[in-house]
Copies of this chain bind each other. A is one copy, B any other.
Amino acid sequence: MQKTMSHRPIIIGVMGGADVSDRDCRAAYELGGLIAANGWVLLNGGRNCGIMEASAKGALEQGGITVGILPDSDPNNISEFIQIPIITAMGSARNSINVLSSNVVVACCGGAGTISEIALALKHGKPVILMNFSVAPLFEDYRQKGVLTSARTPAEVIVIIKRSIMNP
């Protein structure tokens, strides 16, 4: 587990789809705000749509730092709520960077891309919290070890993040 310097904030990765419901976006927006309010950096895929846009907006409005790991180099695809865009120009290969750079990964509703990130995060030993999203019965061994957990609300996610950080 990565040593956290006093000046090095915890990074929370928020993964999720580009095309999701308003309800999921509202939850991601609220989650982003709570992440920032706790002094953590929000990291996501950086695009201007879906869970990425919503969570970045929530975090930035609460004064948080927002980092986006972009799949392409087109500046028009970057969410305006991302402060620090990291331009990979390597498509889905950047999913691996997303999870390796996060202390904890929260997976909101999403499609195949989001599932690939859950899988990569678990493979690399990162705690994963599913918010209103189920991948059961996959990854049951990770669930039994407590690395994969579920939450229904942003507030519940925050409780689990705090527990993960305390007992890494």
Q: Are A89 and B91 in contact (CB under 8 A)?
A: yes
In the complex, chain B residues whose CB is within 8 Å of the CB of A7: 60, 83
Chain A residues with a Cβ closer than 8 Å to the other chain, count: 48
Q: Are A123 and B119 in contact (CB under 8 A)?
A: no
Q: How far is the CA of A75 from the CA of B100 in the complex (A)?
A: 11
Which residue, of A2, A111, A116, A138, has the highest number of chain B Cβ atoms within 10 A?
A116
In the complex, chain B residues whose CB is within 8 Å of the CB of A116: 95, 115-116, 119-120, 123
Asked whether A159 is an interface residue with its Cβ less than 8 Å from the other chain, the reply is: no
Interface string of A65-103 (1 = CB under 8 A from B): 101010001010010101111111111111111001100
Total copies of the chain: 4
Q: Are B84 and A65 in contact (CB under 8 A)?
A: yes
Minimum C-beta distance from A18 to chain B (A): 11
In the complex, chain B residues whose CB is within 8 Å of the CB of A97: 86-90, 93
Interface string of A1-24 (1 = CB under 8 A from B): 011010111010000000000000
| A119 and B115 in contact, given A8-B83, A65-B65, A89-B90 (Cβ under 8 angstroms) | yes
Q: How far is the CA of A30 from the CA of B147 in the complex (A)?
A: 36
Q: How far is the CA of A73 from the CA of B91 in the complex (A)?
A: 10
Q: Are A86 and B69 in contact (CB under 8 A)?
A: yes
Q: Are B84 and A91 in contact (CB under 8 A)?
A: no
Asked whether A41 is an interface residue with its Cβ less than 8 Å from the other chain, the reply is: yes
